[in-house]
Chain A
Amino acid sequence: MKTIEVPALARVEGEGGLFIGMKDGKAVEIRLDIYEPPRFFEGFLIDRYLQEVPDITARICGICPVAYQMSSVRALEAALGIEVTPEIYTLRRLMYCGEFIESHALHIYLLQAPDLLEVPSALDLAAIAPEVVKTALRMKKAGNELLKAIGGRSVHPVNACVGGFYRWPDARLVKATLPELEWGLEAAKETVKWAVMLPYPDLKINYEFVAIHHPIEYGVMNGDVWSSKGSKLEVTDYETRYIEEHVQHSNALHSHTKEGGNYLVGPLARLNLNHEQLLPAAQKALKDSKIKLPITNPYKSLIARAFELVNFYEEAIQLVKAYAPNGPAHLKLALKAGEGCGMSEAPRGLLYHRYKIDEKGRVKFAKITPPTAQNLPRIEEDLLALVPQLVKMDQEQATLTAEHLVRSYDPCISCATHFLKLKMEEVE
């Protein structure tokens, strides 16, 4: 029996394991096991008051709390039939820029780059290339400081609510983030140049990409759900095509399309579907890099994140400069029974929420489809595609290559409920 045993998957958020069943040198079974304990968020949201929802759903993920807050407030606003003012929407975009910056800088430099540079961690990288790590930490901090200026703190910010914000952030604090954001934009342009030179493993996958698309802005909140296969759906029709199932080996739910296919959400999907909506500096970085789209190598999602970093620094700078609080910070809520869904693009992919509320504003039903639940079947398929390469490698190399693939997805396994043990063994 050929067994390949891999240690725990590091540098992901959450816990998971990987099993590959082999027969005659070919993979016949593959399972990404999710050990991350189930936490039952959709269950204990029931009978909570709607204004508590963004605070509670933020706790699904400490790395992308803003995504959970934004998808939930949008869904609850849809249930109440209200639409926020352009000023509120713009501040939400700015807050989201902060999350993209901190999450992408963390993933590019601290979580995935060590794989490409063959070191165990960014701390080991700091011993050989301290400037790289210092730059990364400074880039990340710029995002966190922006979140802090708007939301009070970077992990589980407290200012967002259904209807808008509890109060307009202090303009002086918001404007004070500008010098570091401007420095960060230049650092992000350098990140792109560095990212395209890194030695990525070869893998080419024929993906169906799914992301929020908007004709003018780079899809993050407003817009429709677009697929590279041509499907264009409004958010209210999302569940007609994208279906979530509970599979035995996982505490995370798995998604597929109505036709039964897997699909990919996240930076590759967004960049490939929405590159025309990138802001000028990101457009220029894309053109100068001579990268041809679509990018179909999952390992290269790091490059897509780098382009997005440029884009979100650029957008953050524009919005910080233009920030001038005007009108009410939040709308008054007129409670009524209703149902609504809301979407936004978490740094790791599309995040969908749907709620039913009663006339007193109490949640009666909640459905949350996180990005990693949608990507898990896709990760399994990608690993299967990788097996012909894995069987030619020694244990250590095979493990690293498989782990690296999972990490390149930036799976927030704790969000999809979720440490990797690669086990490759002959099955009967």
Chain B
Amino acid sequence: MTLTPKTSIKPKVAVYKFSSCDGCQLSLLNLEDELLDLASVVDIAYFLEATRTVKAGPYDIGIVEGSITTPHELERIKEVRDECKFLISLGTCATAGGIQALRNFTKMSDLANKVYAHPEYLQTLDTATAISEHVPVDLEIWGCPVSKATVLEALSALLMGRRVNFPPSPVCVECKRRGMICVVVSQGIPCMGPVVHGGCGALCPSNGRGCYGCFGPSSTANFSSLVNVLLPLERFPGESLLLIRNFSGYAPAFRKAADLVLKAAAEKESK
């Protein structure tokens, strides 16, 4: 799936925000060495965090940050899809619901009562969901936040009309390649590295802590094996479940992993 520029006209790019922290859009502005070059090869037609100028669609590339959490967003994402030829969901909120998808595991009214004195003023959905649950998405870039390298790879591939090459291996392999000492084996620290999408360069293990899964599930993950490793390592009750139900917790693969943990806990209970 590539977008080959058929003419010398610069492709029009739109960047949209839904429910999010703005960190992934900021990752675009944080391309300090590449931003001006990038702006010379694409037409930034809509990007409110960076410019007041709004050029009318349709757009060649749409980049969506954030998840769908309000009735308004539910409508807006359909309009966005209609005006973009190639749609990218940027970051873990857009690809899996993100941290706000923790609401999906609890009763929304309880949450609202905990935070707001007048929940009746709020307009919000009971769930926070990925963009692909509502409209077709052409490319997903994972990360909380996304890494510069993956964003640049995706944009250069699109602009040159070639395939996107994302890091194929999970965090665990990136960690081995860096020659790091395994935090699970050497220190007994629970780590999601074997089941999490690479791209961060094994950031957490290199800082002496376990991976907490912000790049989402890798395609080759073996969750039952992971759960067997995690459960005996728990440093406090329920750690495995909390680790899985975090920034990427609503990704379908992680939901299944959480079910495995809950099942194991129930079996232990009945014994």
Contact = CB atoms under 8 A, between A and B. Distances in A.
A84 interface: no
A48 B242 contact: yes
Contacts, number: 187
Nearest to B17: A15
Interface in A137-152: 137-138, 140-141, 144, 152
A40 B20 contact: no
Given A44-B111, A126-B39, A248-B121, A62 B24 contact: yes
A56 to B, nearest CB: 6
Contacts of A122: 50-51
B23 A110 contact: no
Interface string A107-124: 000100010000011111
A59 B21 contact: yes
Given A38-B122, A43-B112, A144-B30, A414 B99 contact: no
B237 interface: yes
Contacts of A59: 21, 23, 98-99, 144, 247
Nearest to B31: A137
Interface stretch (B132-140, B154-162, B203-211): B203-211
A7 B22 contact: no
Interface stretch (B80-88, B100-108, B171-179, B251-259): B100-108
Interface in B160-189: none
A42 interface: yes
B218 interface: no
B226 interface: no
A62 B21 contact: yes
A62 B207 contact: no
Interface stretch (B4-12, B56-64, B69-77): B69-77
B35 interface: yes
Given A134-B36, A159-B207, A246-B121, A154 B21 contact: no
Contact of B51 (A15, A120, A166): A120
Interface residues of B, number: 66
A49 B54 contact: no
B193 interface: no
Interface residues of A, number: 72
A414 B21 contact: yes
B243 to A, nearest CB: 9
Contacts of A415: 21
Interface in A58-72: 59-63, 65
A41 B117 CA distance: 15
Tell me if B's interface is mostly helix, strand, loop or mixed: loop
A124 B51 contact: yes
Contacts of A36: 19
Contacts of A267: none
A13 B115 CA distance: 21
Interface string B23-60: 11111011011011001000010001111111000000
B124 A38 contact: yes
B246 A52 contact: yes
Interface of B: 17-27, 29-30, 32-33, 35-36, 39, 44, 48-54, 69-70, 72-73, 98-100, 102-103, 106, 110-112, 114-118, 121-122, 124, 144-145, 147, 200, 203-204, 206-209, 212, 214, 236-239, 242, 246-247
Closest 6 A/B residue pairs (Cβ)? A62-B23, A121-B51, A43-B111, A167-B208, A141-B32, A10-B52
23 contacts: A10-B48, A10-B49, A11-B48, A11-B51, A37-B18, A39-B69, A42-B114, A44-B111, A62-B21, A62-B23, A62-B25, A65-B21, A114-B52, A120-B51, A123-B39, A133-B36, A137-B36, A144-B30, A155-B23, A158-B203, A246-B118, A253-B116, A414-B22
Given A42-B115, A166-B207, 19 more contacts: A8-B48, A11-B49, A12-B49, A37-B100, A44-B102, A59-B23, A62-B22, A63-B26, A121-B52, A122-B51, A137-B33, A140-B30, A155-B23, A155-B30, A246-B117, A246-B121, A414-B21, A415-B21, A419-B48
